[in-house]
Amino acid sequence: MAMAPLQVFLFACAIALLASSSMVSAEVIEHSFQVQNLTINRLCRRQVINAVNGSLPGPTLHVREGDTLVVHVFNKLPYDLTIHWHGVFQLLSGWADGPEFATQCGIRPGSSYTYRFNITGQEGTLWWHAHVSWLRATVHGALIIRPKRQRSYPFPKPYREVPILLGEWWNANVVDVENEGLASGATPNNSNAYTINGQPGDVYPCSSNKTYKLKVKQGKTYLLRIINAALNNQLFFKIANHNMKVVSVDAAYTNPYITDVVVVAPGQTTDVLLTANQAPAAYYMAAKPYVSVVGVPFDNTTTTGVIVYEGSKPSTPKMPILPAFNDTTTAHKFFTNLTGLVTGPFWIPPPRQVDEHMFVTVGLGLIACGEAGNATCAGPNGQRLAASMNNASFQLPTKMSMLEAFFNNVPGIYTTDFPDQPSLKFDYTNPNNSFNPAIIMTTKSTKVKKLKFNATVEIVMQNTALIGVENHPIHLHGFNFHVLAQGFGNYNPTIDSKKFNLVNPQERNTIAVPVGGWAVVRFRANNPVTEEVMANKNTKLVVTNQIGSSGNENVGDNEEIRKLRWQIIEMHRAWANGLLPPPVPTNNLEYLSSLPPVSHAQFSIFVDMPQHASGSTPGQQYPTTSKVHFLTPQSKTTIYSAPAVVHAFAAAPPLEAPTFDVHPQVVPAYSTKDPALNIFSDQHYALEPTFKSTGPYDCPQPPEFPPNTKKSVMTEEQEKITR
């Protein structure tokens, strides 16, 4: 029965109030990054580094879960540049993830690019860093995600929150260091120091005056957000005479775990509660490398900061006793004692059904030095060192990003033949195979693994003894994974699968595969973008959701439907940013088709076609209405008030989601095999942006979002005052 005009008006007013109240919790946080050379003093010398906004580390970004982050990056370096938002899911915003030639081309010197994405379903500590060459050694900073204002931490509120960024320092241009290693085929030169918040600490020469200091009050509890921004080394971290309580790793809450030492692999984050419960004095915090490979030189130094109790008398800080550099027992104990907090706000149990099983060997190998007759290289056996997975050493493309090639079906950029198993099975962790000529050689290639959307993937990551056994950090872009088990030696599925923790496994985006051992992770491929599985030493496995396959080849192929879907997204994006779309004319399709395209959406969209249930024919014309359900990341009621052609309902499934009634002209093909995939949804089809050429080799970039001219960009200090 139709509603009377007064009823419609009152209903719209009530819905508008609900929408406005829910918008209070989400904001658009906007920053600008000026990336340029900076000359600073470290280790008794002046050194030119690459830095953001004139600081090392770069600015700390503060957001709340559900906020939209907008960062305008101005590249004033002599190198190409991208920024990766390490650990952010990038739901439907894969273009903003940042790895060069994977999801975008580099920002050319003198050019700029704007990243815009929503932070959904995550709280805790993540970080951002350059994702070209070794620029991230100094181009990095913390990304702090706090709960929405109406929600609290799942632990007592700390007195203060403090980012602790652990880094590496070279008395050289890091780009030159990397290039020299690539040219010779050997390992690059080791760093000269480690740092805490950009400072080496007073055990290094010429560093005592600027050692990082943290003042604390007796009895207060502090949340230390520890980030390992070092390029190549895992680090032990301790505070003299103090225990720490781990409450989160990689922005995923854990059950509280009390420890006197924290181990962080490159890329990992660990949140700990520190209670100032010792006698008023000064205490060192210190970090040193955990190195498991034997016989290889490394930077065996220690960085320090100082915790100073308020009111304490000047004294020499107490130094913690750090583990030995090769203390694998301590490292393994820490990593395996962490478990997920099942009562956390975003906890998702590990999937029990597995669709894709992969066994991936991770380690070093050799590639041929060059053409016959060339001079030998400086790597083992006169060859070049190369990290590999399943004996494939990844080679980045140079003419186009893989994500663009994926969406535009451009051949020749990558192949989809990355193997699920190693081509040759052998005794993976046997040191006698370290230089076995039959298995040590590898080749460069750009191979990817293609996954069906929403498939559950289990990966056994097996370390090998090729060249030497070592602990390998592995990072998965765009997803978290559950760590089911870790161990040493060769993985035995019959025995080791019985060790799986399927109750409360830790969630991570970066894992340290044990030295001479294995780790088993499981995740659901529910983010339709091209993403990387990255190991240290620049090994990569690229995974991409296989969108539009398995009986759904025709879904979304109709141009009118794709255009209609784009414009609905634009309407909702306008609402999300506090902008009112123009009035909707009677001809809804004409209006939607007339709107300009956008590069990506912040929201998941489900399109329900009830006609399918009544035996419709694909491609049949339908004058009736279909409902488009908008599921916001904030899971809140979002309503767009519009004329009768576009109606809003508060009770659409799920209850938090509104609907728009639209009139598509053609219904896509229907698959009875997988009803969840018959919808032309951006859960399954990320948007096809219009590209413009700004990168090297005319490499196209996805379009930028212009600055929000209605809101000034806050400085970090202004943001602190505001919050």
Q: What is the pLDDT of residue 531?
A: 52
Q: How many other CB atoms are found less than 10 A from the CB of residue 629?
A: 19
Distance, C-alpha 57 to centroid of its chain? 19
The per-residue DSSP string of 78-90 comes to SS-B-EEEET---
Tokens of 680: 């032309």
CA separation (Å) from 437 to 362, 368, 381, 431? 17, 12, 10, 13
The letter for the amino acid at 681 is S
Look-up of token digits 């209405």? 625
- Cβ pair 303, 289 in contact under 8 A: no
DSSP-derived secondary structure letter, 303? E
Compute the radius of gyration of the chain from its Cα atoms. Answer: 26
| Residue 468 pLDDT > 60 | yes
Q: Assign 492 a pLDDT band (cuts: 50, 70, 90).
A: very high
CA separation (Å) from 142 to 107, 126, 230? 21, 6, 13
| Residue 115 pLDDT > 60 | yes
- Which residues are registered as beta bridge partners of 510? 475
Residues 123-148 pLDDT 10s: 999 999 999 989 999 999 999 999 99
Q: For residues 617-626, give the mean pLDDT.
A: 30
Q: Which of 76, 77, 136, 81 is nearest to 104 (CA)?
A: 81
DSSP-derived secondary structure letter, 695? S
Lowest-pLDDT range of 135-144, 150-159, 314-323, 657-666: 657-666
| Residue 110 pLDDT > 80 | yes
Prediction pTM value: 0.77
Ranges of each domain in the chain: 24-151, 152-345, 356-550+603-608
| Residue 38 pLDDT > 70 | yes
For residue 99, whether the previous peptide bond is cis, meaning omega lies within 30 degrees of 0, is no
Residues 224-246 pLDDT 10s: 999 999 998 999 999 999 999 99
Q: For residues 449-470, give the mean pLDDT.
A: 90
| Residue 565 pLDDT > 50 | no
SS (H, E, C) 317-335: CECCCCCCCCCHHHHHHHH
Q: What is the pLDDT of residue 92?
A: 79
The letter for the amino acid at 519 is A
| Residue 649 pLDDT > 80 | no
472-502 b/e (C-beta count within 10 Å ≥ 16 → b): bbbbbbbbbbbbbbbbebbbeeeebeeebbe
| Residue 268 pLDDT > 90 | yes
The letter for the amino acid at 70 is V
Lowest-pLDDT range of 32-46, 521-535, 564-578: 564-578
312/218 Cα distance (integer angstroms): 10
Residues 351-409 pLDDT 10s: 999 999 999 999 888 988 875 555 678 888 888 888 889 999 988 898 888 888 887 78
Q: What CATH code is assigned to 152-345?
A: 2.60.40.420
Q: How many other CB atoms are found less than 10 A from the CB of residue 689?
A: 19
Q: Assign 632 a pLDDT band (cuts: 50, 70, 90).
A: very low
CATH number of the domain at 24-151, out of 2.40.160.20, 1.20.1440.130, 3.40.1480.10, 2.60.40.420? 2.60.40.420
Higher pLDDT: 1 or 161? It is: 161
345/151 Cα distance (integer angstroms): 9
Q: What is the pLDDT of residue 529?
A: 58
| Residue 676 pLDDT > 80 | no
Tokens of 44: 């008794």
Q: Assign 350 a pLDDT band (cuts: 50, 70, 90).
A: very high
Residues 160-211 pLDDT 10s: 999 999 999 999 999 999 988 888 888 889 999 999 999 999 999 999 889 9
Q: For residues 682-705, give the mean pLDDT.
A: 39
- Contacts of residue 344, defined as CB under 8 A and 6 or more positions apart, other chains included, come to 154, 252, 253
Look-up of token digits 């196209």? 700
Tokens of 421: 């198993």
- Contacts of residue 292, defined as CB under 8 A and 6 or more positions apart, other chains included, come to 326, 328, 331, 469, 470, 471, 515, 516
Residues 275-327 pLDDT 10s: 999 999 999 999 999 998 888 889 999 999 999 999 999 999 999 999 999 99
Q: How many other CB atoms are found less than 10 A from the CB of residue 110?
A: 10
Alpha helices in 227-276 (DSSP H): none
507-536 b/e (C-beta count within 10 Å ≥ 16 → b): bbbbbbbbbbbbbbbbbbbbbbbbbbbbbb
Where is 22: in which H helix or E strand? helix 5-23
Mean pLDDT of the chain: 76
Q: What is the pLDDT of residue 326?
A: 94
| Residue 624 pLDDT > 50 | no
| Residue 587 pLDDT > 90 | no
Q: What is the pLDDT of residue 398?
A: 86
Q: What is the pLDDT of residue 536?
A: 47
Residue 693: burial class (beta carbons within 10 Å; 0-12, 13-18, 19+): exposed
Report whether CATH 2.60.40.420 matches the domain 356-550+603-608.
Answer: yes
250/268 Cα distance (integer angstroms): 6
SS3 502: coil
Q: What is the pLDDT of residue 399?
A: 86
Residues 419-437 pLDDT 10s: 999 989 999 999 998 899 8
Dihedral over Cα of 445, 390, 328, 498: its sign: positive
Q: Do domains 24-151 and 152-345 have the same CATH topology?
A: yes
Most confident of 263-272, 405-414, 548-557: 263-272
Q: What is the pLDDT of residue 187?
A: 87
Q: Assign 567 a pLDDT band (cuts: 50, 70, 90).
A: very low
Lowest-pLDDT range of 70-74, 258-262, 332-336, 382-386: 382-386
